[in-house]
A and B are shown apart, each in its own frame.
Chain A
Amino acid sequence: MWNYTGIAKRTREYHEAIILSKIVEISPTTRHEGHSKLVLKVDDAGIIERGDWLSITPVRGVEKLAIGKTMDQVPKIASRVCGICPIAHTLAGIESMEASIRCEIPRDAKLLRIILQSANRLHSHALHNILTLPDMYLPGTDTKINPFSPQEPVRSVAKRIQRLREIGQTIGEIAGGEAVHPSNPRVGGMYKACTQQAKTKMYDLAKEALVLAHEQMDFMIAILRNYQKRDWAEVGGKQIPIPKTLGYHNQGYMAAHPMYGSSSLDECPGWNPDRWTDVRPWDWYMGEGEVSLADPSYPIGGTSPVGTKVNPQMEACTGVPLYDGSPVEVGPRARLVQFKNYDEKGTIGQQVARQMEYPDCLYTIINALDEYNPNGKVLADHIPQGDGSLGWAANEAPRGTDVHLAKVKDGRVLYYEMLVPTTWNFPTCSRALTGAPWQLAEVIVRGYDPCVSCATHMIVIDEDKRLVAQKLIQ
């Protein structure tokens, strides 16, 4: 007689041994903006089978508190969502209002916004170099790069990065009134035109930065290519193999414009609200679990201890926006894929794409300055107060498409929604973790240049565009 029970038991044990994966948690993640963590299901070799990267930044509920406030005030509040890319939120916020009330702004105002936009991208990418470099190696050595080291060649690179940032912030400050939370943009255009003297100053700075940006781009690409050729990277004293497919995913890309953005006022808009749906984190992330693998040597301070309860579905502080029903990647690579036929996948391909955007920031500034007339008007003659129509604006933030949607009536905001770059990237990046050693998960995350504060919003909409969940307070 067959002992069916015995066979079944053995089979189950056998299967469990194979499929029983372990959970490791890196919390918090570092060298990016905001507060997030990684919950990773790994196999025996430590390779990620399924990864969830999620925001644990408290929800601040900007969209909810915007309701009833004036259309002039809301973009200034939205700017405070993030201090690295406040330009994106200011411009997308204002332009969503302008789209709702259907206000066309004067050309010279638009040019100042373009200058501000490009200057901020320059600064942001340069800042991200500082966050990336510590993962990378000095070519031909097994020495990781410490951007704060006083030694050459790192010192000169750090100085070049800081000068690029300084120039980006200074140009932004002149065109935008302020580098962090720009004061000059307003519904209908800009408050102040820049003088001839200011124009000349921006031009000189852009010319100086153009040379540095080319050098910095070449340097970064060489460093990234070197990483790509390596077989291993050292993490917490161990040699971790680098897969050739580090950070690969099969999700789509989304970008509204190569440099600036698009809005519902455009004749051929670069984004389509009908293709967007939102799902709740609990439809998308892993459920309850318990950390079963811990590594106290993971720099710095180790991973979460064994026994820690995790529950990404409930802990995630973001909705999950989908485009055409699936997660998409946004950011520099998405822009290059959409507009320049770029086709390199993976983390390094993504980082290389970011560096390739450097010169364009400056060419765009220089061209816009050539066109800019200091005596031109910068405020629309007529600013309608709105009838409640839906308007949207997509700004190509440093980290990707930042879409704001608004309904304005009698000068007040009836509805406001922000779909920010890192929110789009959360689910995509989570997918891209699969197949990598868990110790390199953060390298993949950093490829997205995450801005987690930006990503933490609260309105969730289902396939029928109905509001299904509002989490103001967790």
Chain B
Amino acid sequence: MPLMRHSNEVREMAGELGKYKLCVSARSADKAILKKAQDGGIVTQLFKFALEEGIIDGAIVAGPGDEPWRPRPFIATTVEELMTSSGTKYNISPQVSWIKEATRSFGLDKIGIVGTPCQMQAVRKGQLYPVGLRDVPDKIKLAIGIFCMENFSYQSVKQLVEDHAAMKMEAVKKMEIGKGKFWVYGQRGQVVQLPLKVTHKYEQPGCHVCLDYVANLADVSTGSVGSPDGWSTVFVRTRNGDDIWSKAIAAGCFETKPIEQVKPGLELVTKLATEKITKNQKTVEERAKFGVNKGLRNPYLGPK
């Protein structure tokens, strides 16, 4: 099966990568963004462009919280505010908690939101089944999904950093999960890598029933896997996402390369996605016979 087809053609290849029109490897053309970004700075650059063009009038992002590396979701309405949100925080940031308030005391009409695949699901569910979400569905104008294998509680990350990697939380410059390791980079140049098997018991249990790796329901989704360091893998999925992406490309916001020309490329993305889904699908199925003659709930099935 050819891995690359052209834009405007939604393709449904292996279900694990979801539907998309275009997949590229890309990075922001803005040095300032790249300096602070986790990978290619796709999220920050695309929101910056959308804010400046009036495509959105605010974006729900994960900014710095009360403790080092604890994310706090907030609504950025300026580029300066947006810039404080770059970088991945590997613990839960309840992004969707602001989605209604954005249309209320913030008075937004056009909302951007970034989040993990589960948060993209929440956004789409809220748009189609707006239970208690009056006036929200038509105001979501750009939903950017980030790839996600699993997430952690704050306590878990702290334990990994302070006990396993022996570094103070506030001394950490960057964290990264890649190449089979959990990487912790210190402000003073230290680099600690933990094998992923050390991290497993700290994962938040809810992630074990998650069947989405590359944010299938976003307008645009992005992650590090598949592209070289400093670059991102980007899926442009919806018509709306395609429209904004094309405009951003035309405006010179991004450098791109066809995904087939980069290593390790889509093959690795597909492999990891398949692994996640296969493993978690098994967990979902096991829940049905968790007890003796009774099981645990399966959210993918309707109520009996």
Binding site for B on A (CB under 8 A): 170, 173-174, 177-180, 183-184, 192-195, 197-202
Contact = CB atoms under 8 A, between A and B. Distances in A.
B107 interface: yes
A179 B103 CA distance: 12
B107 A178 contact: no
A198 B134 contact: no
B135 interface: yes
B269 interface: no
B104 A195 contact: no
Given A173-B103, A174-B107, 18 more contacts: A170-B135, A173-B134, A173-B135, A174-B105, A177-B101, A178-B104, A180-B134, A184-B105, A192-B104, A194-B105, A194-B106, A194-B107, A195-B106, A197-B57, A197-B77, A197-B107, A197-B108, A200-B107
Instruction: Give the 5 A-B CB pairs with smallest separation, nearest first.
Output: A198-B107, A192-B105, A201-B107, A194-B105, A197-B107
Contacts of B106: 194-195, 197-198
B105 A193 contact: yes
B105 A195 contact: yes
B107 A199 contact: yes
A119 to B, nearest CB: 13
13 contacts: A173-B104, A173-B134, A173-B135, A174-B104, A177-B105, A179-B134, A184-B104, A195-B77, A195-B106, A197-B57, A197-B106, A199-B107, A202-B107
A195 B107 contact: yes
Contacts of A195: 77, 105-107
A329 to B, nearest CB: 34
Q: Which of A183, A192, A195 has the most CB of B within 10 A?
A: A195
Interface string B75-117: 0010000000000000000000000010111111100000000
B150 to A, nearest CB: 33
A366 to B, nearest CB: 16
B28 to A, nearest CB: 26
Contacts of B134: 173, 178-180
Interface residues of B, number: 13
B82 to A, nearest CB: 15
Contact of B104 (A177, A180, A199, A200): A177
Given A178-B134, A179-B134, A192 B101 contact: yes
Nearest to A374: B105
Nearest to A200: B107
A193 B103 CA distance: 13
A58 to B, nearest CB: 25
Contacts of B101: 177, 192
A180 B105 CA distance: 15
A195 B103 CA distance: 11
A203 to B, nearest CB: 10
Nearest to A175: B105
B54 to A, nearest CB: 13
Contacts of B77: 195, 197
Interface string B255-292: 00000000000000000000000000000000000000
B78 to A, nearest CB: 11
Contacts of A194: 105-107
Contacts of A193: 105
Nearest to A191: B105
Contacts of B58: 197
A142 to B, nearest CB: 41
Nearest to A196: B107
Contacts of B105: 174, 177, 184, 192-195, 198
Contacts of A202: 107
Contacts of A183: 104
Interface string B38-72: 00000000000000000001100000000000000
Nearest to A194: B105
Q: Which of B58, B107, B108, B134 has the most CB of A within 10 A?
A: B107
Contacts of B104: 173-174, 177-178, 183-184, 192, 198
Nearest to A195: B106
Contacts of B57: 197
A199 B77 CA distance: 15
B138 to A, nearest CB: 13
B81 to A, nearest CB: 12
Contacts of A174: 104-105, 107
A195 B104 CA distance: 10
Contacts of A192: 101, 104-105
A225 to B, nearest CB: 37
A189 to B, nearest CB: 13
Nearest to B58: A197
B171 to A, nearest CB: 35
A465 to B, nearest CB: 40
